[in-house]
Structure 1
Amino acid sequence: MSNPAYSLRQLSYFVAVAEAGTLAGASATLHVSASALSLALDELERALDAQLTVRRRAHGIRLTPAGQETLRRARRLLREADELADAAGGDPGDVAGTVRVGCYTTLAPGLLPAAIGRFTADHPRARVEFVEGSQDLLVRGLLEGELDVAVLYDHRLDPALELTAVSANMPHLVLPRGHRQLRGAEPVALADLVDEPMVLLDLPPSSEHALGVCLAAGLSPRVRYRTANAETARALVGQGLGFTVLAQADPEAGRREEVVAVPIAEEPAPLPIVLAWSGQVAPTATARAFAAAVTSCGPTV
């Protein structure tokens, strides 16, 4: 097997430039001169026999299609190199290195702390870096190599992703305390809310799913307010400004005294939660170990 004509240093410089978008930005981050970065990019392109970037004065760096694919692979190689260096100082079979995790925003509070706690207790030489965000953001991070694994709802995901089931959340209805339809903890029919406005958690896929639940129950909701924050949605409901449909595991999340969470009488289907990673790249040992921690915490999501 011949040695590669490129170096890890060249790859790390290329990734830094691609992420910064300019030579000057990467230079400031790495504390390396812009001329040295430019030279490293030239050497890498010659080694790979491909143009990776289009460099335009005063317009920054744009990646070519070959550059976009190289960026994904370079991130992976650098991650594995870090993992190798970390593992070399431990016992054989130790899990070490950094795993980069994405988690859908509303799932994170109920899942990440327990999963990270279990993972770091079992693998003290490993590290977790996590990002919370929308489903679109996390899927892009997986496909572009920025994330090793992500926890998402299984709702219209890219077929290029590999999935492992974790658990599922049941949609529930949130109403102001004292609402005319409330009868203790008994289910409430969405169809009975036809004259009331809706507060929509506008964070795909939660928004699509909540609207679908309403439509399946025969209710065409009038959305009065939209928010990307589940706690804001509850607060708006607490002010009597509408109802909302959420799919978090704990219906009483937030513990707001002015709202009540109850089952939906039409009994919508649960929303499955999955672990996802790019089907184009096998997960690292550290990513697999974190995935095991997540699945072991699944019932508490």
Structure 2
Amino acid sequence: MTADFSLRQLQYFVAVASTGSMSAAAVQCHASQAGISTAIADLERRLGVQLLVRRRARGVFLTEAGTRVLERAQAVLAQAEDLRASAKAEKGQVAGRLTIGCYATLSPFLIPPLVDGFTRLHPAIDLQFVDGSQDEIRHALLQGVCDLAFLYDTGAEAGLACMTVRSNRPYVILAAGHPLAGSESVSLSELADESLIVYASPPMEANAERWMRSVDVKPNIRYRTSSIEAVRSLVARGLGYSMLVQRWPTDTSFEGLPLAAVAIEEPLEDVRVVLAHAASVTLTQRARALARYACETLAAPGPPGGSQRVEGT
């Protein structure tokens, strides 16, 4: 007995469900919007259920039946991809499609070296990536849009299994002309009365406030911005200081003004970057290969005050 629907129809349906619109799915699948719509209408007819509710100029949303079918469709597509990958594995290759999610501010640090190095090592892997907020990437993992994802460890990764890739100690950045810019380290109490500029993307803002309060200092937040380059530029202009985690590979702001990275005297906890996957999912051979590669190659650079004077989120 053969199925009366195709893998391509399932692929189009999953793409529409993940993007929320026919037009976005068409771009993702390199197909026409009309082709996507026709394929899904035929899939609904063959399955005998309505999968999507279409709203003019407002995208689509899943019906209750569509939500149930989505999970199974993702499983079928994953099994089909595993079959293709297994066939290539007979030739000693790690192969197949692999999608990595990444918290947006970690992307510049982790994604380029990962894509470059891993695909050189395994050229038969079709490696894709998406980035977004912590919540967006966590949702993508649980919905099966991503196989693996890089996130900050917040202690609230329900439904996810995590392995540590790197850890960093928080530090401060100051304008090059700040009186403490040349110090080996600085106490947060010395900055208590100065303006704090926070990167306003979870979990960084909450982390900054928690770090300050942990040493009995009330944070004097002056500016919030969702642009890390804006944070660095404001600091470089002497408008405040900021607390960051990742090491940026330059000691100048976007405008070319100098910055100084200084260690924090107080023993704040390290911030872990984890590689996560849905706990209910058994990792494929290619996902396990990428996880090993990431843990072996993506170690963090040295602390402020060492050979690299760099800043990051």
TM-score range, shorter chain: 0.7 to 0.9
SS at match of 2:186: coil
1:6-29: CA deviation from partner (whole Å, max 9, x where unpaired): 542331232244346456776786
Aligned residue for 1:41?
44
Compute the displacement of 1:258 (Å): 2.1
RMSD: 2.7
Return 234-243 or 25-34, whichever deviates more: 25-34
Aligned residue for 2:184?
186
Compute the displacement of 1:56 (Å): 5.9
Return 197-206 or 277-286, whichever deviates more: 277-286
State TM-score, norm by structure 2: 0.82
Change (3 A) 1:149 1:3: same
Compute the displacement of 1:60 (Å): 5.1
Aligned residue for 2:274?
274
Aligned residue for 1:237?
235
Task: State the AA in 2 paired with 1:165.
Answer: T
State TM-score, norm by structure 1: 0.85
- Superposed, which structure 2 residues align to 1:69-218 within 5 Å? 69-89=68-88, 91-182=90-181, 184-218=182-216
Compute the displacement of 1:291 (Å): 1.0
State the alpha-carbon separation in 2 of the partners of residues 133 and 55 from structure 1.
26
State the alpha-carbon separation in 2 of the partners of residues 279 and 84 from structure 1.
22
Unaligned runs of 5+ in 1: none
- Superposed, which structure 2 residues align to 1:237-276 within 5 Å? 237-248=235-246, 250=247, 253-256=249-252, 258-276=258-276
Aligned residue for 2:309?
none
SS at match of 2:69: helix
Compute the displacement of 1:219 (Å): 1.8
State the alpha-carbon separation in 2 of the partners of residues 96 and 208 from structure 1.
40
Contact 2:9 2:39 in 1 (8 A): no
1:141-189: CA deviation from partner (whole Å, max 9, x where unpaired): 111111110011111433101111222111001111121234x342111
Return 29-38 or 167-176, whichever deviates more: 29-38
Unaligned runs of 5+ in 2: 302-313
Compute the displacement of 1:62 (Å): 2.2
Aligned length: 293
Change (3 A) 1:116 1:20: closer
Contact 1:23 1:38 in 2 (8 A): no
Change (3 A) 1:265 1:286: same
